């Protein structure tokens, strides 16, 4: 592949990445202790346990898959990778679930 073809392919990859980042769920950190984060989204609270990456602070904005279970990668407001970890619960509206998460998360 020539240089021009490679650059064209590279621009398509980044254009796709940008579109994916724009389509991500967005939220705000409302609780941060150790590796445990509660992220407020439009659909309720997401309970997230970090396994790697940088640690956000209270009131930081994050984006990524916040309304589905499993291992996810979150980004900061500028679009840079922030942290990876597990969505334990999402769409949480009951204080009982939030308090249980705070006690059990490491």
Flag whether the pTM goes above 0.85: no
pLDDT in tens, 44-103: 999 999 999 999 999 999 999 999 999 999 999 889 999 999 999 999 988 889 999 999
Question: pLDDT value at position 4?
Answer: 47
Q: Is the pLDDT of residue 18 over 50?
A: no
CA atoms within 13 A on the CB side of 69: 2
The CA-based angle 51-53-59, given to 5 degrees, is 95
User: Does 31 or 24 have the greater pLDDT score?
Assistant: 31
Short-list 32, 39, 83, CA closest to 58: 32
Domain range annotation of the chain: 25-104
Residue 23, pLDDT score: 58
Query: Higher-confidence residue: 47 or 14?
Result: 47
Please, are residues 36 and 105 in contact by the beta-carbon 8 Å criterion? yes
């Amino acid at each position: 592949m020539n240089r021009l073809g490679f650059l064209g392919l590279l621009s398509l990859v980044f254009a796709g990445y940008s579109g994916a980042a724009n389509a991500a769920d967005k939220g705000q950190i409302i609780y941060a202790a150790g590796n445990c984060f509660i992220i407020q989204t439009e659909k309720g609270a997401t309970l997230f346990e970090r396994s790697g990456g940088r640690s956000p602070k209270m009131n930081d904005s994050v984006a990524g898959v916040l309304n589905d279970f499993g291992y996810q990668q979150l980004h900061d407001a500028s679009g840079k990778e922030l942290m990876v970890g597990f969505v334990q619960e999402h769409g949480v509206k009951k204080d009982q679930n939030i308090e249980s998460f705070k006690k059990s998360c490491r």
